[in-house]
Amino acid sequence: MPPDPVHGIGGPETRRLDGRSLARHEHDTAGRRRPISWPVVIRPIAEGDWDRWRVLWEGYLRFYREELPEATTMVTFERLWRRTEGLFGFVATSGDELTGLVHALVHPSTWSTSCYCYLEDLFVAEPARGTGVARELIEAVADEAATRGAQRVYWHTQEFNGPARSLYDQVARRTSFIVYER
């Protein structure tokens, strides 16, 4: 099973934005994981994030074995930082380092007079997995969606993505819908 881009194994606790725990891990010389405490900030994607965002974006695409044309990546980033066409995104930062990203889209619904929010992409860099970053990114989307009047936030994940699904089971309810593509 490939590594999970969203949620890994938890670890010792340190302070996080909302006062709950957050820890980052690196490997010591014997290959054991050890925590490193750090403050994390979740903020909207900015124009100056391009180079660091792209590293995370490429990691996300690799995980799903996808390739996109350069033009698609550039247009996606511009839509995200400009917050156009219903798209918006956040990054998790630790100092100058981007440790995670999330992208979402607010759209109308035929089942509601308000809108819905689709959380399309969520990725956390390997050293920050299992630290609470993914949960905070989801919360940032939920907050922004509520500000925009969205009735619900929803997302898809692959069935094999067990660690991510473990987190999702804690922060949302699973539905019985199956996704088809054409």
Q: Look at residue 109 and tell me if it is in a domain.
A: yes
Q: Look at residue 9 and tell me if it is in a domain.
A: no
Q: Express as a percent the part of the chain with pLDDT over 70.
A: 79
**Rounded CA separation 54/26 (Å):** 22
pLDDT in tens, 13-48: 222 344 333 444 444 444 443 343 368 899 999 999
**Number of domains the chain is built from:** 1
Which residue has better confidence, 45 or 63? 45
Q: Look at residue 89 and tell me if it is in a domain.
A: yes
Write out the E strands in the chain: 24-27, 33-36, 41-44, 87-94, 97-108, 115-124, 150-154
Task: Write the CATH number for 98.
Answer: 3.40.630.30
Coil, helix or strand at residue 157:
coil
